[in-house]
Amino acid sequence: MQVPKSLFSEGGVIAPGGPEKWKIKAQSLISFENVSGLTLDGYGTINGLGKGWWDLSCAYHPKLKGCYDRRPTTLTFIYCTRIRVNNIFMINSPQVHILVWYSNDVKFDSVSINSPALSPNTDGIHIEDSKNVSVFHSVIKAGDDCISIGDQSFHILIVNIFCGPGHGISIGSLGRDGEEVKVENIQVHRANFFGTTNGVRIKTYQVGKGIVHHVGFKNLTFHNVENPIIIDQHYCFDPNGCPDLPTAVHIDDVKFQGAIGTSASEVAMNLNCSKSVPCTNINFKNIRLKPAKSLKRIKSSCNNAYGSNTGTVKPSSCLHS
């Protein structure tokens, strides 16, 4: 399907409201499937009116009868190619604001996303089963990850992002059901984090298999951020923790190059890798993190993480050579 160069230009789109207002069981407010050559441009606003859905979220109200595990996304691209999204303002999605799935050659530029910090699962942009996706010059405030990258994602470029509130920029979570995953060539450059619960993060389940390979985080700025740099191969929902298993997603060739700012948690760099499948070829280069005002000192923590250091690394690196 070929679409005219500009489909939308300045204006607004407003969702019906909470679940009682939706007459059909739609999975997305706006969805494009099998579309090629689409540009969304102009300074319009898309309002997901998500509060009615958040108030019935199972994540926040697990004992509520009739709560909703799944809620609509606002803007979805499925099996699409050559997509350009510029100068769009989105607010208050019921769940994920923008979903990119099974798509190729998708570029976002100057996108603004704004939802409250406590809005459940309102990721700004989620990318999965897609390749050649880029996000430039965007401001994302969300109740979950500002940008999240799922399985089978390749050649993702993220440049000049302002994130916060939110959960940071994350790869994962991967391998939840024991599947074999593959994520390669993810580059995040010039990202700024403001009061987020994480900075840059890779998270995998112990039961997963496969690889996350060739990841670069470069020129990062953290402002009062919890967990500025974190790799977690023991991601789980058990409050007592999860045991180390003989399988894990292999995390290899990850570079953290150029990071400054303040950590709101004592462990500013936390690499919790698997004993069975350690993290390898990790590199810290020119890291200068300081404690936020609420802390006296910060440190790094490494379990089964191997790699090298270049230039100044503060707090002191814990990588094993």
Tally of domains in the chain: 1
pLDDT digits (tens, 9 = 90+) for 84-103: 999 999 999 999 999 999 99
In a domain, 180, yes or no: yes
Matching residue, tokens 């919790």: 272
Domain with 48, as residue range(s), is 6-314
Residue 321 lies in a domain: no
Output the pTM of the full model: 0.94
Per-residue confidence band for 7, with pLDDT thresholds at 50, 70 and 90? very low
In a domain, 248, yes or no: yes
* Residue 159 near residue 127, CB atoms below 8 Å: no
CATH code for the domain in which residue 305 is found: 2.160.20.10
Tokens representing 291 are: 């404690």
Please name the helix (run of DSSP H) or strand (run of DSSP E) that holds residue 51, with its range, or none: helix 51-54
What is the model's pLDDT at position 5?
A: 42
| β-sheet bridge partners, residue 309 | 284
Q: What are phi and psi of 103, to 5 degrees?
A: -130, 165
**Is the peptide bond prior to 173 cis by the omega test (within 30 degrees of 0)?**
yes
Please report whether residue 11 resides in a domain: yes
The tens digit of pLDDT for each residue in 135-152 reads: 999 999 999 999 999 999
pLDDT in tens, 294-317: 899 999 999 999 999 999 999 999
Quick one: pLDDT band at residue 50, thresholds 50, 70, 90?
very high
Contact present, 104 and 132 (Cβ < 8 Å): yes
**What is the C-alpha to C-alpha distance for residues 242 and 203, in angstroms, rounded to an integer?**
14
In a domain, 1, yes or no: no
Q: Going by C-beta distance under 8 Å and a sequence separation of 6 or more, which residues neighbour residue 308?
A: 282, 283, 284, 319, 321
The Cα 147–Cα 84 span in angstroms is 17
167 is catalytic: yes
318, amino acid identity = C
Over the stretch 151-207, which tens digit does the pLDDT of each residue have?
999 999 999 999 999 999 999 999 988 899 999 999 999 999 999 999 999 999 988
Structure tokens at 266: 């004592």
Whether 235 is covered by a domain: the verdict is yes
Residue with tokens 């996304």: 73
The verdict on residue 320 lying in a domain is no
Report the share of the chain in percent with pLDDT over 90.
Answer: 81
Which of 167, 213, 234, 250 is catalytic? The answer is 167
Does residue 77 fall inside a structural domain?
Answer: yes
CA gap 98, 169 in Å, rounded: 14
Q: pLDDT tens for residues 10-20?
A: 578 999 988 88
HSE-CB for 240 with a 13 A CA cutoff: 1
Is there a contact between 141 and 162 (Cβ–Cβ < 8 Å)? Answer: no
